[in-house]
């Protein structure tokens, strides 16, 4: 389940929820790499460099420009094309992996970029991701220069590149850079000293040279890509390792020292299949609307992973070398209860869409959630916003898709700004699929060439309310005879989301005992007030056959049913009615087969009572015990109570607020010890690993005897009467 809300505590629960899903990579029509990420209150931003100039048989990188993307909903991305081009800027060479951040002092975007493969670090700023981008540093200098001309030198760092930029809550800015190794700056296991950090001046015209700090960190041998972000008072230094993973450390100070904590990202793979040609990686991290996301690169287009169209290289040749033809993807990630980072799960789908798409705005042509049979072109000039065009391969299957579109009352028309060098070029608007229901057709005016643009409009029908997928399908008798600049729909009205509702349609009046499986009914639409639970697994692994259309894992046990297969950060919500102000005692019934697990409660986003720690109640989760959770100070009125899992693998049967009579409660479900002998063994992700027979041994002992390694496993009896989780300690 993956229904996340603006007050999300990052983590896992059991099952996945319903909702539109994005597609990785974010752009499937050219080769991009080395992303940086940032966000403000309106947009999530990604910048990339580009492998587009690299020949099909390239044996090295050919990187000349930065591209810019933004999204409001983490599903539909606007590609602004080239936002900065080293080929047209005096004084810099190639432009490689860069960092981006939003400055809270002046609300502008800033990018730190490397001058080629080690020539220094530059700084540019702009009011919009589209630009124009200019250098704010006094004297138009670089920040760092390996060969003179900057405010400081590279301080002995082997590779003077891969910068990142970070602004703290108080507005203080920082930038980092570094990579490789040298005689004076080593990179080795548990001895990495290849990154520097400096404080930026508030006016962004330079930095405090005297603030120089060498960022030393343990962990695996570092290679490049230092990155700093902050979460709940902790600072995180992440970096690319020599063995092609992303490691990290934590500190209470942005300038360190950082204590190594672990691996945040493995080399990108899905279901055991590497999607990165087992090659290098780079990452950018940012929080947006209560969620945490990481942008990274992989090689899934060049590898043709999952049926993706392999885009030819810049020289037109097919099947380019994957190592030097990368693509950029985005996934959501989570934290553990102690602030450490959970290892990222790479997905085909990408993040969930977090709000509806408004079709009644005016959008750059390359605004989409997925694409096929298109190319793009940027016309970039220093000091100007680039003109970025969509170029359809219109004799083939050629379209862009927009997802989660809220047409409200109804759309009446479609308008597109386009150039057409041929008669008969047209854009069809379909819903559902590229060949789905036809809503309208716009025939483009022949403008005589691809540099002269005209506005075209047509009527559309049948587009109202929230439509999951809209396809703009390009049709023509010749490729490369049209160029699309911008588009939008005409109409009025939006569809308000339907908020979550109490289970049974009526809020529970306190004092009351609430069954954990009776969480609120999810609302309809997208936004912060429609989700009643959060989980990052789609599969409903529960065996209770209750609310199976939703993602929460509900298992048999306790007084009948309980929530199970939980992980830190996941939550469920319950609407309650408080009759009068007062202190309401918290009690809950729970079980765990682990050494300990825990959960807590929030009321309208604020903590209430105490965190309930559950020690092992029995190896197979079937033994439930009652636990006290302190008192909740609640005011008269309607409130939303959130149950938050803070320690993995706890089953919660029920909780109560206030003193509640036990009369009429269902008896606990009792399992017969020998009712089931043969069990199927699954990983926590639901993959069948084999079977085991439990006769005369505890589950963990039987698994270990059968050759299962250390880890957590789910066991289901072959007769279907019993399911539980257990762990092998060694």
Domain shared by 572 and 706, yes or no: no
671: in domain: no
Q: What is the CATH number of the domain that holds 596?
A: 2.60.120.260
Q: Is the dihedral of CA 681, 686, 687, 688 positive or negative?
A: positive
What does the DSSP assignment read for 562-574? Answer: EE-S--TB-EEEE
Tell me the CA distances in angstroms from 675 to 457, 544, 670, 711, one per residue in order. 69, 17, 11, 25
For residues 330 and 350, the answer to whether their CB atoms sit within 8 Å is yes
Find out whether the peptide bond into 217 is cis, omega within 30 degrees of 0.
Answer: no
What does the alpha-carbon distance between residue 53 and residue 29 come to, in Å, rounded to a whole number?
A: 14
Domain shared by 643 and 700, yes or no: no
Q: Residue 448's Cα: distance from chain center in Å?
A: 43
251: in domain: yes
Q: Residue 284's Cα: distance from chain center in Å?
A: 11
Total residues found in the chain within this entry:
730
Nearest to 326 by CA among 375, 273, 278, 393: 278
Nearest to 122 by CA among 108, 109, 136: 136
Domain shared by 509 and 476, yes or no: no
What would you report as the CA-atom Rg of the chain, rounded to the nearest whole angstrom? Answer: 28
Domain shared by 141 and 184, yes or no: yes
438-471 confidence digits (pLDDT tens): 999 999 999 999 999 999 999 999 999 999 999 9
Domain shared by 513 and 636, yes or no: yes
Three-state SS for 188-201 is ECCEEEEEEEEEEC
What does the alpha-carbon distance between residue 669 and residue 244 come to, in Å, rounded to a whole number?
A: 49
Boundary of a domain, candidates 628, 657, 686 = 657
Domain shared by 239 and 178, yes or no: yes
Domain shared by 219 and 99, yes or no: yes
What does the alpha-carbon distance between residue 542 and residue 538 come to, in Å, rounded to a whole number?
A: 12
What does the alpha-carbon distance between residue 245 and residue 267 come to, in Å, rounded to a whole number?
A: 5
Nearest to 419 by CA among 377, 359, 465: 377
Domain shared by 392 and 283, yes or no: no
Q: What is the CATH number of the domain that holds 255?
A: 2.115.10.20
For residues 237 and 277, the answer to whether their CB atoms sit within 8 Å is no
For residues 293 and 330, the answer to whether their CB atoms sit within 8 Å is yes
What residue spans of 284-382 are helical by DSSP H?
none
β-pairing verdict for 367-368 and 77-85: antiparallel
List average pLDDT for each run of 10 residues in the chain, which is 730 residues long: 26 30 85 98 97 94 96 97 94 92 96 86 96 94 83 94 97 97 96 98 96 97 98 97 98 98 97 94 96 97 92 92 97 94 95 94 95 95 93 96 94 95 97 97 96 94 95 95 94 75 93 96 70 75 82 90 90 95 95 93 93 91 94 95 93 92 36 54 68 75 80 70 67
458: in domain: yes
144: in domain: yes
Nearest to 611 by CA among 630, 592, 596, 594: 630
429: in domain: yes
Q: Is the dihedral of CA 485, 491, 496, 498 positive or negative?
A: negative
Domain shared by 290 and 371, yes or no: no
Q: Residue 358's Cα: distance from chain center in Å?
A: 21
Tell me the CA distances in angstroms from 157 to 121, 178, 181, one per residue in order. 13, 6, 6
Nearest to 324 by CA among 46, 49, 37: 49
Nearest to 649 by CA among 712, 721, 573: 712
Q: What is the DSSP letter of 422?
A: S
Beta bridge partners of 342: none
Both structure tokens of 255: 């300038």
Q: How many CB atoms lie within 10 A of CB 126?
A: 18
Domain shared by 488 and 517, yes or no: no
Q: Is the dihedral of CA 685, 698, 598, 509 positive or negative?
A: positive
Q: Residue 166's Cα: distance from chain center in Å?
A: 19
What does the alpha-carbon distance between residue 335 and residue 264 come to, in Å, rounded to a whole number?
A: 10
With 0.85 as the threshold, say if the pTM is over it.
Answer: no
228: in domain: yes
Helix (H, G, I), strand (E, B) or coil at 462: coil
618: in domain: yes
Beta bridge partners of 399: 372, 473
Domain shared by 467 and 513, yes or no: no
Q: Per the structure, how many domains does the chain have?
A: 4
The terminus-to-terminus CA distance of the chain in angstroms comes to 30
Residue 15 has what pLDDT? 27
Helix (H, G, I), strand (E, B) or coil at 73: coil
Residue 171 has what pLDDT? 96
296-347 confidence digits (pLDDT tens): 999 999 999 988 989 999 899 999 999 999 999 999 999 998 999 999 999 9
Domain shared by 427 and 290, yes or no: no
What does the alpha-carbon distance between residue 429 and residue 626 come to, in Å, rounded to a whole number?
A: 58
Nearest to 223 by CA among 158, 313, 150: 158
Q: Which residues contact 179 (CB under 8 A, 6 or more apart)?
A: 157, 158, 159, 161, 162, 194, 222, 223, 224, 225
Domain that holds residue 399: 363-492
Three-state SS for 78-114 is EEEEEEEEHHHCCCCCCECCCEEEECCCCCCEEEEEE
Residue 116 has what pLDDT? 78
Q: How many CB atoms lie within 10 A of CB 512?
A: 16
11: in domain: no
Nearest to 439 by CA among 404, 386, 513, 490: 490
Both structure tokens of 560: 């009948």
Q: For 304, list phi and psi in degrees, rounded to 5.
A: 65, 30
What does the DSSP assignment read for 685-705? Answer: TS-EEEEEE-SSS-HHHHHHH
Boundary of a domain, candidates 470, 492, 514 = 492
């Amino acid at each position: 389940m993956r229904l996340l809300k603006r007050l999300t505590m990052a983590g896992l629960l059991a099952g996945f929820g319903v909702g539109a899903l994005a597609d990785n990579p974010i752009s499937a029509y050219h080769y991009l790499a080395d992303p940086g990420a940032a966000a403000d209150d309106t947009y999530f931003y990604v910048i990339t460099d580009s492998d587009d100039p690299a020949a099909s048989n390239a044996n090295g990188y050919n990187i000349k420009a930065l591209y810019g993307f933004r999204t409001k909903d983490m599903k539909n991305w606007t590609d602004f094309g080239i936002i900065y081009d080293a080929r047209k800027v005096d004084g810099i060479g190639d432009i490689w992996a860069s960092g981006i951040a939003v400055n809270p002092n002046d609300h502008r975007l800033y990018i730190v970029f490397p001058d080629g493969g080690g020539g220094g670090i530059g700084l540019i700023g702009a009011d919009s991701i589209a630009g124009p981008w200019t250098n704010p540093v006094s004297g138009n200098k670089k920040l760092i220069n390996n060969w003179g001309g900057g405010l400081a030198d590279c301080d002995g760092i082997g590779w003077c590149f891969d910068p990142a930029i970070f602004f703290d809550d108080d507005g203080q800015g920082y930038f980092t850079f570094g990579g490789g190794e040298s005689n004076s700056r080593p990179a080795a296991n548990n001895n990495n000293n290849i990154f520097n950090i400096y404080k930026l001046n508030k006016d962004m015209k330079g930095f405090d040279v005297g603030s120089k700090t060498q960022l030393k960190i343990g962990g695996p041998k570092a290679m490049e890509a230092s990155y700093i972000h902050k979460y709940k008072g902790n600072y995180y230094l992440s970096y690319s390792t020599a063995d092609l993973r992303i490691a990290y450390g934590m500190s209470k100070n942005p300038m360190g020292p950082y204590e190594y904590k672990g691996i945040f990202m493995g080399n990108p793979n899905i279901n055991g299949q590497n999607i990165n040609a087992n090659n290098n990686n780079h990452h950018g991290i940012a929080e947006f609307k209560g969620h945490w996301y990481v942008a990274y690169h992989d090689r899934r287009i060049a590898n043709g992973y999952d049926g993706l169209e392999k885009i030819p290289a810049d020289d037109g040749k097919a099947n380019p070398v994957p190592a030097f033809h990368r693509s950029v993807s985005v996934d959501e990630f989570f934290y553990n209860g102690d602030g450490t980072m959970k290892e990222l799960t790479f997905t085909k789908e990408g993040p969930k869409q977090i709000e509806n798409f408004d079709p009644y705005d005016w959008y750059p042509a390359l605004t989409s959630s997925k694409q096929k049979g298109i190319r793009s072109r940027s016309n970039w000039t220093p000091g100007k916003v680039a003109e970025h065009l969509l170029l359809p391969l219109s004799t083939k299957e050629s379209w862009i898709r927009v997802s989660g579109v809220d047409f409200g009352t109804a759309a009446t028309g479609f308008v597109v700004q386009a150039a057409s060098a041929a008669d008969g070029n047209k854009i069809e608007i379909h819903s559902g699929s590229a060949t789905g229901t036809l809503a309208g057709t716009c025939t483009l005016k022949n403008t005589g060439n691809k540099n002269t643009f005209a506005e075209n409009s047509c009527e559309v029908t049948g587009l109202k309310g929230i439509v999951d997928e809209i396809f703009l399908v390009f049709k023509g008798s010749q490729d490369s005879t049209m160029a699309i600049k911008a588009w939008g729909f005409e109409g009025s009205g939006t569809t308000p989301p339907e908020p979550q509702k109490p289970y049974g349609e009526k809020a529970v009046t306190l004092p009351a005992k609430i069954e954990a499986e009776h969480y609120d009914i999810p609302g309809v639409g997208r936004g912060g007030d429609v989700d009643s639970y959060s989980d990052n697994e789609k599969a409903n692994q529960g065996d209770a056959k209750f609310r199976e259309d939703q993602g929460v894992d509900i298992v048999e046990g306790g007084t009948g049913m309980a929530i199970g297969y939980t992980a830190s950060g996941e939550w469920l919500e319950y609407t309650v009615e408080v009759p009068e102000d007062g202190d309401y005692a918290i009690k809950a019934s729970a079980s765990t087969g682990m050494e300990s697990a825990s959960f807590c409660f929030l009321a309208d986003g604020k903590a209430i009572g105490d965190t309930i720690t559950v020690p092992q109640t029995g190896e197979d989760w079937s033994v439930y015990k009652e636990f006290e959770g302190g008192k909740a100070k609640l005011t008269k009125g309607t409130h939303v109570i959130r149950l938050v899992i803070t320690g993995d693998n706890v089953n919660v049967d029920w909780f109560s607020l206030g003193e509640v009579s036990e009369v009429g409660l269902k008896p606990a479900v009792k399992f017969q010890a020998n009712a089931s002998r043969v069990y199927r063994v699954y990983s926590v992700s639901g993959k069948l690993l084999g079977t085991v027979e439990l006769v005369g041994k505890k589950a963990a002992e039987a698994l270990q005897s059968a050759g299962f390694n250390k880890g957590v496993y789910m066991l289901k009896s072959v007769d279907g009467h019993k399911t539980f989780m257990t762990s092998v300690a060694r």
